[in-house]
Structure 1
């Protein structure tokens, strides 16, 4: 699959920041159906954790350039198209992207703002997620996705059923057309929350493959990459410190009152681990009671 990613890269006269300085725009690509990262809500607005993170990156670039910088979002039909657009410089930024070492050969990643893995969504009491339990079973996958590749190697005797979008995949599972869905565990949980599906469970307890989730940009944009990492680090540190803005931004998608309902301490522990691999950001603590998760 990765061999198909060796696209010719047009010579770029400008870096992402040079173009942003000239136009006031950073182009962002992504899907519009990936809860909780980037999706269209009931009001027809594009929302999600990835959008919040990208807005912070644009704000960091605006401060650096001393001029307003806005995001211009373009929907991408699938992950391969999105990677091609970022790799060739057609798109400046994409967030909510799974990290793999192979992909790192073609784009530059930010520090992560989420952690996920490949698991299976199935009916409660159904498959247990072991390779033996998948033998001969119809497993729904998004064609060309990391979940597709994982099932191909993990359970080669499973019958992989290509599907085009995650909401339709959940509907196929509920209708019995597939016996499980393989994919990103956070996106699977988000799809269940969005569709209101009942009687489903995510298995096994530990992901078949685990990875960080962050943003990607075209290679050789070191200054923009630094600003991107700084924006994400400030968000993570702000959440750890209990700052209201950071806390609300993360909790509305991941926290106890959000879509995934993760305990705040679990989120803090992961954010702290990410920051310990780089440098702690000095963000003043917010002492207002409402800011405490």
Structure 2
């Protein structure tokens, strides 16, 4: 009854704002019929998903999508075309998924509110919430009273920062990219966000000109795993995605060259973002596998 009421309320909300939900077969059935898997993705979120120097869509999340794509092709025994659709915010990804415009979107952080409308895959990496300041500009008064902090459209980020620094001045930014621009132009004193994205932003703007708070010797304001969202009630596709992510983790843990290279390319000592230690990655992967099933790793 609760599920039925929830579906009814969501449908009513979507119709009220002029959006018609897509309800035509399961995701796997639709992909098998059409030959397309539509992926909602950010285009400027280093190291998750971004346009690289060769004008190609790249990133840790993109590599995860490609692994899921490969597994899906094996399961369906047919070629599948990946169709990437830009999304700028978690809210946009959620809306496009509910309306059937996209089949999967990564770079996702679990919240109970979003979980009412979509399902989450296993998380494929870990991150946290910190602030990015221009180098040497972190106030000595770390209550940050009157410090202008840019808050992107992510409720879990907003809640963590506002709880830690209630006397700061909060500046809502429409997208993470808008927050980056405001920080570069001095319109805000600091930008809140995902630690890995903040480090990617630091490298894009000025690798020596910015630093994060709290320092990496201290805990972040909050920790979280990063995964993908998929449409609700599509267990076959969710299982394929979860199996793929777990297999990637298992490969990394047993030092499979392909999976080790994939992970190390993005995170760890020599990754695009080096702030996540190999020990933390290994522990996270082990805990995930232990809570599911160890997969005998084969190509």
What's the offset of the Cα at 1:282? Answer: 0.9
Residue 229 of structure 2: aligned partner: 216
Confirm whether residue 173 of structure 1 aligns to residue 183 of structure 2: yes
Shift of 1:153: 4.1
Q: Which is worse superposed, 101-110 or 8-17?
A: 8-17
Please say if residues 114 and 212 of structure 1, whose CA atoms lie closer than 8 Å, have aligned partners that are also in contact.
yes
Partner Cα separation in structure 2 for residue 144 and residue 62 of structure 1:
33
- What is residue 70 of structure 2 aligned with on the other side? 59
2:207 to 181, 192, 197: 197
Do the aligned partners of residues 105 and 168 (structure 1) sit closer, same or farther apart at CA in structure 2, a change above 3 Å counting? closer
Match of 1:82 in 2: 93
| Deviation at residue 189 of structure 1 after TM alignment | 0.9
Matched-pair contact (CA < 8 Å) for 2:121–2:241? yes
Q: Residue deviations 1:158-178, cap 9 Å, x none?
A: 212233454553454354332
CA contact (8 A) 2:107 2:226 kept: yes
2:111 is aligned to 100
Q: Aligned equivalents of 2:21 and 2:187: distance in 1?
A: 44
Check conservation: 2:88, 2:175, Cα contact below 8 A: no
2:6 corresponds to: none
State the Cα RMSD in Å.
2.5
The question of whether the paired residues in 1 share the 8 Å contact of 2:144 and 2:167 is answered with yes
- Cα deviation 1:162-207 (Å, max 9, x = unaligned): 3345455345435433221111111101111233332422112222
CA distance, structure 2, for counterparts of residue 14 and residue 167 of structure 1: 36
Alignment of 1:258-269 (within 5 A): 258-261=271-274, 262-269=276-283
Aligned to 1:117, the other structure's residue is in SS state strand
Q: CA offsets, 1:68-107, max 9 Å, x none?
A: 1221100013221111111332210001111112211110
Candidates 7, 22, 39, aligned match of 2:14 = 7
SS at match of 2:193: strand
Displacement of 1:58 in angstroms is: 1.2
In structure 2, runs of 5+ residues without a counterpart are 1-8
Contact 2:22 2:98 in 1 (8 A): no
Match for 1:158 among 157, 162, 168? 168
Distance 1:168 1:277 in 2: 38
Aligned partners of 1:174 and 1:115: how far apart in 2? 26
TM-score (norm 2): 0.86
Q: Is 1:26–1:72's contact at 8 Å kept on the other side of the alignment?
A: yes
Q: Do structure 1's residue 239 and structure 2's residue 246 form an aligned pair?
A: no
Instruction: Give the count of matched residue pairs.
Output: 282
CA contact (8 A) 1:85 1:91 kept: yes
TM-score (norm 1): 0.87
Q: Aligned partners of 1:209 and 1:275: how far apart in 2?
A: 22
Distance, in Å, in 1 between the alignment partners of 2:88 and 2:140 is 29
- Kindly report which structure 2 residues correspond to 1:10-29, keeping only aligned pairs within 5 A, or say none: 10=21, 12-29=23-40
Task: Point out where structure 1 has 5 or more consecutive residues left out of the alignment.
Answer: 286-293
- 1:279 — aligned with what? 293
